[in-house]
Structure 1
Amino acid sequence: MGNSNSSSSDPHFASASRAFTQKELEDLKSLFVSLSAQSNADSSQYVSPSVFKACFGIDGRLGDRLFDLVSQKRNDQRLTFEDLVIAKGIYEKGTNVEIEEFIYQLLDVTADGFVSRSDVEVALSEMLVHIFSHEHGSNFHQHAVNIFLESAKFSGKEESLAESIMSFDDFKLWCSLIPSIKKYLGSLLIPSGSDFQVPDLVIPESIGNQSVLLQKEYAWHIGGALNQHDLEEWRLLYHSSFHGLSFNTFFGNISNYEGPTLLIVKDKEGYIYGGYASQAWEKHADFYGDMKSFLFQLYPKASIYRPTGANKNLQWCGVNFSSEDIPNGIGFGGRPNHFGFFISASFDQGHTFACTTFGSPSLSRSTRINPEVIECWAIVPKGNHQEKQEAAIKGTVLERFKEDRHMLNMVGLANSSE
């Protein structure tokens, strides 16, 4: 089949071929034969750009750039079987650095050798159109592009360009703050139908989609830090504008859910941010939780801050304690009275400080939080619907509130590291 045979003298093809099993190579060959037939190629020796982009579900300048990279930048509008094997060998079987370098080159949509701010803006716009199919319209897409751009760093300079450029190190930092970017760009060579899943946001009819803070673009951003099985359904448990700005109501609404949750706040400065709690909210006299928890920002910029391992001060849930050393409220990271993110039990104030737990800055304009809207969402894992969650409701007050057991952990609490 022309260039499709494995006896090619191209050392790059020979090396890439060794990364695949025989079955994988046969599947790639079958894919190539199908695409080349659709391309009306003579003797089925190449795939055209239009057929390639339709198969992998990406169009526009980002699609053009992907075709350019996969076809070895020959600019002949022809993709051979060797090209496909070599590109997939790097993209799917390469080292982490090789994969990141390939993805980084994708952002250079102008193909001038530099990743400029305008390159990234174009790529982001086309990504969101691809994922959301104009669901919110161009205005909200531009809003989402802006918050993702706001967290990007452009430290490089090039005299031939009028704007700064994103270095490879800038790119890696950006991907750590917005892991959904790397997830998306790292999945484009999977044929159309690949899973860029955005969770189904289940909202009570009385509240309505327009009233919630968590728009789907925000959910896609947060979901970049979660496993695929956690992206099936997110259920709104509490919304302060409808349930009242009340800690007791909040805690009552979430107490029957035993899984992970998202806590999101919009403060009176207009900033939107929150935390992912990997474990259920329970009354404790000390920090608890595991290393799956993280903090995030949604507006005016989007970022995710995972645990650094500096300490285990992850989740905090204080209820009806009388000691000043055990603040009442819910929070993440830092130390008591100096959290990375904290909402007091009065639900009318809180604070956010830079903390080493998550390597996060203050999440708002100032360290003091004055909440305007508070939301809490249940993360319902795949195959674990609400009926199963209700069957797992904790039985007794003694089981739910383990104060006596956790009070033993209070020794030295005031000296907990940040």
Structure 2
Amino acid sequence: METLRRCAGALAWLLGCGPTHSEAYLAAEACFLPDELAAVRQQYHARVLDNYSHGLDQQHFLEWCGLAGAPPVLADGLFAAVQRCSDDCRDDADGGGEGGAQEEAAALTGGGGGGRYSGGSPDLEGRGGGIGSGGGSRGRASVVSLEDVVVAKAQCERMDDVAAAGFAFAVLDPGGSGFVGRDRLAAVIEALLALSLPPSTPAAAPAASAQAIAAGALAMAASASSAAPPGCLDLEGFQKWSARVPAPKALLTGLLANIGAPGSDPHQHTGPGEAATGAAAVVAPGHTPSSPHPSAAHVAASAPQGGPPLKLGLPALVTGAPQPAPPRDGLLQPEWVWLLAPGLAPALRQEWRLLFSSDRHGASFNTFLARLGEAAPTLVLVRDHGGALFGGVAHAPWRRSGTFFGDYANKLVSLLPAACVYPASGINANLQWSGSHFEQLPNGIGFGGQQGNFGLWIDASFDTGHSRPNATYASPSLSVEQNFHLDAVEAWLLQPPEEDEEEERRRKAGAKGRGVLNQSQEDQRLLELAGVAKNYRGAIPDEPLEEG
């Protein structure tokens, strides 16, 4: 009976010559391969038919996304953003796109023709008509159509960076006002932290960290001359922030990764090694060869069992201690890795190794230099007595030098009270300083600025430092007061040590060689069992030597 109902609905739609789609849908459809689009359609239709509806309500849509347990602030924003994706083009198409999409859903469920939805729950309050703009949706019911889903998925994963940023901002701004306040931004960030960090290493202080990240976003947007009112973020500011802090945008555009993925069909039976319900997996920018823009999400069937619903390509933290994660009183916590790692090159997102901790190794500048040696690139973090947390990413080793040196890939970072990233501006080459045992020159390590007025300076006494506004990184003072006392210092190597990489290459080469030798020995034994005895190393028959 169920099969007949499905066939009848599909046949009714086909005989109706199909729907008239909007321009937005046609452009989105062209972004997918036929098999990919067929998978999305099949999964959508199966869920619509199962629920005898004219579209997917929020609950069933989130189940399809693998986000049934997502916090409401994120779930509501995602649902509203998907609904709004093709509203503008529906208006331009005189209702053809919307009517066509509903016509298809109605036919498949045995309902009536096109036009507006005839059923469903009341409208979502405050839902706007276009991404990043105001306006209403003209009475659409609280369901999403196939057209909505395809357009949204194309914007997230297949179109350009502008489209992806627009969708991500729409999740933040479900009412379509064009602005996002600090509290809502912090709430969405906290939800993303909860969904993307492994349960074994959750954020140490998710609410406080989310507030700091939101404060940093507003500060960076304001410094970039955003037109948003004070305390708010607009689309332009969001794009500029995302260029420095890619993780939130990458995760927001990855929320639909489960749609169309294997295992997402409610009627598909999976084997023991397959996930029955998928979870979105997002890789950090630059990892996805099939993605047309850097921050696009990579579609994957599921996250590892017991893992987070959303995944970023975050590095493993190696502390050299028995515990697998950094201690809770350490400076580098999982939320700061989440914030910083996606903005680094792929080679720097594999493993971060603790080289120095003043709590563990003592507050000694000589010990700091000895433990770092020629290691690079490194992340140096400082906490001052006022509680501010800040530091810098240095791509050159901290070797003694009487002049400035370094790489333009360097960055200064502020984490608390506001999380900001300051890349090198290119205005000068005063990127790093490292001095020891000088009589006239500064002894210590520094980033940016000038001698005596660094963007960040740690004195060789390992007791004091300073942070000044500087042009090298276009950063303000990072500390509570420009002259500060050090409370703690950490240094992390941002890639596996060279000796580890060399050892891994030798291990793999040895394993390959042993594999070939073992196979040769197996072949020789088989030949001997067959009565053929030859020395196959030299291809010389094993014949007795003649005595002369």
* TM value normalised by structure 1: 0.79
The amino acid that maps onto 2:333 is Q
The Cα offsets for residues 110-130 of structure 1, whole Å up to 9 and x where unpaired, read as 566652333223312211221
Give the counterpart of 1:11 among 23, 26, 30: 23
Which of the residues 261, 281, 289 maps onto 1:193? 281
Tell me what 1:30 maps to: 39
Asked if residue 376 in structure 1 is aligned to residue 491 in structure 2, the reply is yes
Q: Which residue of 2 aligns with 1:221?
A: 339
1:350-365 matches, cutoff 5 A: 350-365=465-480
Gap change, CA 1:138 and 1:235, over 3 Å in 2? closer
Deviations 1:363-411 (A, max 9, x none): 0122213211110011126xx776127899xxxxxxxxxxxxxxxxxxx
Is 1:65 the equivalent of 2:77?
Answer: yes
Paired position in structure 2 for 1:160: none
C-alpha deviation, 1:235, in angstroms: 1.0
2:351 equivalent among 216, 233, 238: 233
How far apart, CA to CA, are the structure 1 residues paired with 2:20 and 2:443? 69
Is 242-251 or 134-143 further displaced after alignment?
Answer: 134-143
Which residue of 404, 421, 424 maps to 1:304?
421
Change (3 A) 1:9 1:141: closer
Q: Give 1:329 shift.
A: 1.7
**C-alpha distance in structure 1 between counterparts of 2:438 and 2:341, whole Å:** 34
CA gap 1:303/1:148 in 2 versus in 1, 3 angstroms: same
Instruction: Say if 1:92 and 1:335 are closer, same or farther in 2 by CA, change over 3 A.
Output: same
Structure 1 residues 349 and 138: CA distance shift in structure 2, 3 A: closer
Is residue 184 of structure 1 aligned with residue 251 of structure 2? yes
Over 3 Å counting, the alpha-carbon distance change for 1:237 and 1:350 in structure 2 is same
Q: CA deviation at 1:302?
A: 0.8
Distance 2:440 2:502 in 1: 33
Aligned to 1:98: 163
Aligned partner of 1:53 in structure 2 is: 62
Task: Name the counterpart of 1:171.
Answer: 238
Counterpart position of 1:251: 369
Aligned match of 1:340: 455
Other-structure match for 2:320: 204
- 1:293 equivalent among 396, 403, 410: 410
Q: State the 1:68 CA deviation.
A: 2.5
The verdict on how the C-alpha distance between 1:289 and 1:224 changes in structure 2, with shifts beyond 3 A counting, is: same
- Give the SS at the match of 1:308: coil
CA shift digits 1:232-288 (9 cap, x unpaired): 22111100111111111111111153x311000111121110001123322223222
Mapped to 2, the partners of 1:357 and 1:184 lie a distance apart of: 31
Partner of 1:366: 481
- Is the contact between residue 39 and residue 48 of structure 1 (CA under 8 Å) also seen in structure 2? no
How far does residue 45 in structure 1 lie from its aligned partner after superposition?
Answer: 8.2
Percentage of pairs with the same residue:
29
Q: Answer yes or no: is the 8 Å Cα contact 1:238–1:376 preserved in 2.
A: yes
Structure having greater relative contact order (Cα 8 Å, sep ≥ 6): 1
Q: CA deviation at 1:88?
A: 2.8
Query: For 1:35 and 1:10, how far apart are their aligned partners in 2?
Result: 18
- Encode CA deviations 1:88-121: one digit per residue, 9 max, x unaligned: 3333344433332222221124566652333223
**1-side partners of 2:345 and 2:379: how far apart?**
15
The letter for the 1-side match of 2:208 is H
Over 3 Å counting, the alpha-carbon distance change for 1:202 and 1:136 in structure 2 is closer
Determine the C-alpha separation between the residues in 2 that align with 1:305 and 1:268.
Answer: 23
Distance 1:156 1:190, change over 3 A: same
**Distance in 2 (alpha carbons) for counterparts of 1:221 and 1:96:** 20
CA offset at residue 61 of structure 1? Answer: 3.0
SS of structure 1 residue aligned to 2:155: helix
CA contact (8 A) 1:109 1:123 kept: no
CA distance in 2, matches of 1:218, 1:42: 42
Find out whether 1:146 has 2:211 as its counterpart. Answer: yes
- Residue identity matched to 2:450: R
What do the CA deviations read for 1:303-341 (whole angstroms, capped 9, x no partner)? 1111112122222222333333xx222111112222111
- 1:280 counterpart = 2:379: no
Choose 1 or 2 for highest CA Rg. Answer: 2
Indicate the RMSD between aligned Cα atoms, in angstroms: 3.3
Distance 1:172 1:130 in 2: 22
Tell me, which stretches of 5 or more residues in structure 1 are unaligned?
Answer: 158-162, 393-418
2: CA distance, partners of 1:113 / 1:83: 20
Q: CA deviation at 1:51?
A: 4.4
Equivalents in 2 of 1:346, 1:390: separation in Å?
A: 37
* Residue 270, structure 1, aligned to residue 387, structure 2: yes
Q: Deviations over 1:194-230 (max 9, x none)?
A: 3323322222327861231111011111113213442
Q: Hey, what's the Cα distance between the residues in 1 that align with 2:472 and 2:147?
A: 47
Q: How far apart are residue 137 of structure 1 and its match?
A: 7.0
Question: Helix, strand or coil: the match of 2:233?
Answer: coil
Larger mean CA deviation between 62-71 and 49-58 belongs to 49-58
State the match for 1:130 in structure 2.
195
* 1:115 pairs with one of 165, 169, 180: 180
Counterpart contact for 2:383–2:488, Cα < 8 Å: yes
* Matching residue's letter, 1:197: G
Query: What count of residue pairs does the alignment treat as equivalent?
Result: 378
What amino acid maps onto 2:331 in structure 1?
L
Query: Letter of the aligned partner of 2:192 in structure 1?
Result: M
**Residues in 2 aligned to 1:200 and 1:319: alpha-carbon distance in whole angstroms:** 32
